[in-house]
Amino acid sequence: MEITTVYDRYFEALRVGDRRAALSTARDALGGGVGIHELYMDVFQPAMYAVGHLWETNQFTVAQEHLATAITQSVMAQIYDSVDSHPPIGRTMVATCIGGELHELGVRMVSDFFELEGWEVFYLGANMPPPDVVRMLESKRADLLAISMTLGGHINDVRNLISAVRESPATKKVRVMVGGQPINRSPEISQSMGADFTASNAREAIDLAMKAVA
Site for ligand B12 in 64-83 (CB under 6 A): 65-66, 69
Q: What is the rounded distance in angstroms from the CA atom of residue 117 to the CA atom of residue 184?
A: 23
Q: Which is nearer to ligand B12, 30 or 155 (CB)?
A: 155
Smallest distance from the beta carbon of 94 to ligand B12, in angstroms? 11
* Residue 177 interacting with ligand B12 (CB under 6 A): yes
Q: Residue from 67, 71, 109, 142 that binds ligand B12 (CB under 6 A)? A: 109
* Residue 106 interacting with ligand B12 (CB under 6 A): yes
Residue 194 · residue 159 · CB < 8 Å: yes
Smallest distance from the beta carbon of 201 to ligand B12, in angstroms? 3
Of 138, 148, 143, 140, nearest to 211 by C-alpha is: 143
Of 88, 155, 151, 97, nearest to 128 by C-alpha is: 97
Q: Residue from 180, 189, 190, 193 that binds ligand B12 (CB under 6 A)? A: 180
Of 76, 83, 176, 101, nearest to 134 by C-alpha is: 176
Q: Which stretch binds ligand B12 (CB under 6 A): 9-17, 19-27, 162-170, 200-208?
A: 200-208
Site for ligand B12 in 111-150 (CB under 6 A): 146-148, 150
Q: Which stretch binds ligand B12 (CB under 6 A): 83-91, 132-140, 159-167, 179-187?
A: 179-187
Smallest distance from the beta carbon of 138 to ligand B12, in angstroms? 19
- Mapped onto helix, strand or coil, the DSSP state of residue 57 is coil
Q: Residue from 105, 116, 134, 161 that binds ligand B12 (CB under 6 A)? A: 105
Smallest distance from the beta carbon of 44 to ligand B12, in angstroms? 6
Give the other-Cβ count within 10 Å of 157's Cβ.
20
Report CA-CA distances (Å) from 117 to 38, 130, 139, 148, 209: 15, 27, 22, 20, 11
Angle (nearest 5°) at CA 55 between 186 and 98: 45
Of 74, 76, 118, nearest to 93 by C-alpha is: 118
Residues that bind ligand B12 (CB under 6 A): 45, 48-49, 51-53, 55-56, 65-66, 69, 100-107, 109-110, 146-148, 150-152, 177-181, 184, 199, 201-202, 205
